[in-house]
Amino acid sequence: MEILSNLALGFSIALSPYTLMLAVLGCFIGTIVGALPGLGPSNGVAILIPITFTMGLDATAALVLLTAVYYGAMYGGRISSILLNIPGDEPALMTTLDGYPMAKNGRPGQALVISGFASFWGALFATVMLALVAPALSRVAYQFGPAEYFALYLLAFSTLGGIASNNQAKAAFASCVGLGISVIGLDNFSGLPRMTGGNLHLMDGVDFLVAIVGLFAVSEVFFFIEKHGKGGAVGVKLNKFRVPWGEIWSTRWTQLRCGVVGFIAGVLPGAGASLGSFLTYMMEKNIAGPEGKFGTGVPKGVAAPEAGNNSAAGGALVPMLTLGVPGSGTTAVLLAVLMTLNITPGPTLFTDRPEVVWGLIASLLIANFVLLAMNVPLVRIFVKVLSVPPALLLPGVTMVSFVGIYSLTGGYFDLLLMILFGIMGYVFRKMDIPTVPVILGILLGSNMEDALRRAMVLSDGEWTYLFSSPIAIGLWIFAVAGFIAPVYFRNKIRKPQAVTD
């Protein structure tokens, strides 16, 4: 068994009391960074680059620390999603949809534990797949050209109609807002600015972190100000907390499916973990149908996106390691770290530097187990957040958001933009316009447009090029099915509770 000897090699490099300590430290920092709105995994990893240098860590130790932060942040993102309805980072966006209702029902602990296990499973599955088939899987990227990517993004948007909203026009409008914002910035094809109003700050477009923090965190603060701290999950009476083994077991198939789908989404260099959590949530929602009561706080609704995004986070390492293509911003930072350690990812990495690859895989496994061990007992502490008086908690969240966004460019412009998004989020939520599609539009819009325009450049404007491969056609079929399924269900059910309460 070659794989076992490889793994043994990996663990012999990565497992020592010292590295274990680093793993715990990394997981801890990662969890905090992930949970704080505005600071995402890429922040955490970026923060550690200088630390690695100043501490003089060797390549292995640095890898262990960094992967621990990477996975830690993926775990941590869900915490603020569930407790505060504020996604800690963008892959945790979908976790708000069922996680927050669960917290409001007095079951935040259960939501955290179920999502923690789902995260564990997703990450574990992805790591194992990474170990088993990464070199082979790297070929998948060669099958995806502009037409295939366009169909993939279309699939993501086609299921938007299924987002909990009572009014399709409003959901569609929200997507248009997001897509419209994604257009802002330097146009990739003409090299000229679009919709920037000549503002230099808008040349790179609107960072979706600014949007996510504004729409969720700042608008949440406005709600608390309006209601003087009443309503919401803060201060909710907590049910007695026991580890909900039964509920975890009941989501086993969901976790399994979402692990697989998330991993595939992650392997495709595109939107990475966010796309993973989005596709898995919508898939499970459609599978569960109207009886699944997605959006009202069901265990499957928190298990699906968390298994999906953690699996995607692992999957994103496949193209990063084997091709040097960073699937997401986070992996881009990780790639940078590898390069500063003089490790150049690419097709020959697995054969040239087995000790790096297997050391990395071993550290991912270590980090994952450390995180599970840390997360379950800590749930009792996390839920204490909800006992903090709103007059302290919400200003705290605001300040954290400001610092996080301020660290993007160190200027006031993004902060003003964030406040603007906060007002927008407040008005939208009042008017029952869902905010999730706005974020998705910003996140995926430019990718989708670029893919379409690349395809048209290559085909000289011939539209049939979009359906020219089996993969593209398959994705189109799923997209159409995903669009129709919620409409079909809608006739049979009462509307789910809106997320925008």
Partner 1 sequence: MKLFSAKAVATTAVMMVGSSAMAAECIAPANPGGGWDFTCRQVGKLLYDLGEVDQPVQITNMAGAGGGLAFAHTVAERSDDAELIVAASSATTTRLAQQAYGDATADQVRWVGAIGADPGVIVVAADSPMQNLDDMVEAIKADPGSVAFAGGSAAGGFDHMKPLMVLQSGGFSDITSVKYIGVDGGADAITQTVGGFTQAMTGDMSEIVGFLESGEVRALAVLTEERVPGFEDIPTAMEQGYDVVAVNWRGFYVPKDISDEDFAMWADKIQAVADSDEWAEVRQANGLAPFTKVGPDFQNWVDQVIADTEELSREIGVIE
Partner 2 sequence: MLKSDRIFGVVVVLGAFAYIASALQTPTSFMSDPVGPKTFPVLLGAVAGLCGLIMVLKPDEEPDWPDFGAVIALAISVVVLIGYAYALKPLGFLIPTAITAGILSYQITPRPLASALTGLGLSVGLFLLFKYVLGLGLVPFPKGWFG
The 3-state DSSP class for residue 109 equals helix
Q: Rule CB under 8 A: say whether 355 interacts with partner 1.
A: no
Cα 270 to Cα 140: distance, rounded to the nearest angstrom: 13
Stretch that binds partner 1, among 35-43, 153-161, 368-376, 385-393 (CB under 8 A): 35-43
CA distances to 24, 137, 246, 326, 339 from 69, in Å: 9, 25, 30, 17, 18
Q: How far is the CB of 394 from partner 2 (least distance, A)?
A: 6
Binding to partner 2 in span 234-263, by CB under 8 A:
none
Alpha-carbon distance of 314 to 327, in angstroms, equals 11
Residue that has been written with the tokens 């999603």 in this structure: 81
Helix (H) or strand (E) segment spanning residue 194? strand 193-194
3-class state of residue 186 by DSSP: strand
Pick from partner 2, partner 1, none: which does 347 bind, CB < 5 to 8 A by kind?
partner 1
Cβ burial of 374 (10 Å; 0-12, 13-18, 19+) is middle
Q: Is 107 or 429 the residue whose CB approaches partner 2 more closely?
A: 429
Among 17, 56, 191, 198, binds partner 2 (CB under 8 A): 191
How many C-beta atoms surround the C-beta of residue 230 within 10 A? 10
Q: Per-residue string for binding with partner 2, 379-408, x by CB under 8 A?
A: ----------xxxx-xxx-xxx-xx--xx-
User: What is the Cα–Cα distance from 97 to 216, expressed in whole angstroms?
Assistant: 12
The footprint of partner 1 on residues 107-136 (CB under 8 A) is none
Closest CA relative to residue 345, chosen from 332, 335, 359, 354: 335
Minimum Å gap between C-beta 474 and partner 1 is 17
CB of 228 to partner 2, least distance (A): 6
CA distance 111 to 107: 6
| Cβ atoms of residues 264 and 143 within 8 Å | no
Nearest to 422 by CA among 443, 441, 405: 405
Q: CA–CA separation, 384 vs 276, rounded Å?
A: 30
133/339 with CB nearer partner 1 = 339
CA contacts within 13 A on the Cβ side of 39: 27
Contact track, partner 2, 404-443, x by CB under 8 A: --xx--xxx--xx--x--xx--x---xxx-----------
- Note whether 461 binds partner 1 by CB under 8 A: no
144 lines the binding site for partner 1 (CB under 8 A): yes
Q: Note whether 218 binds partner 2 by CB under 8 A.
A: yes
**Minimum distance from CB of 8 to partner 2 (Å)?**
35
Bridge partners of 193, per DSSP, are: 186
> Distance between CA atoms of 182 and 444, rounded to whole angstroms?
8
Minimal distance, residue 172 CB to partner 2, in Å = 5
185 near partner 1 (CB under 8 A): yes
Q: What sign has the CA pseudo-torsion 305, 308, 314, 320? A: negative
Exposure b/e, 211-221, CB count within 10 A at least 16 = b: bbbbbbbbbbb
470 near partner 1, rule: CB under 8 A: no
- Rule CB under 8 A: choose which of 23, 64, 209, 221 binds partner 2: 221
**CB closer to partner 1 out of 385 and 472:** 472
Binding residues for partner 1, rule: CB under 8 A, are 39-40, 42-43, 45-47, 49-50, 53-54, 90, 141-146, 185-191, 198, 200-201, 203-205, 207-209, 269, 319, 323-326, 328-330, 332-333, 335-336, 339-340, 342, 344-349, 352, 404, 406-410, 446, 454, 457-458, 460
Binding residues for partner 2, rule: CB under 8 A, are 29, 32-33, 39, 47, 50-51, 166-167, 169-170, 172-173, 176-177, 179-180, 183, 187, 189-195, 218, 221-222, 224-226, 228-229, 389-392, 394-396, 398-400, 402-403, 406-407, 410-412, 415-416, 419, 422-423, 426, 430-432, 449, 452-453, 456-457, 460-461
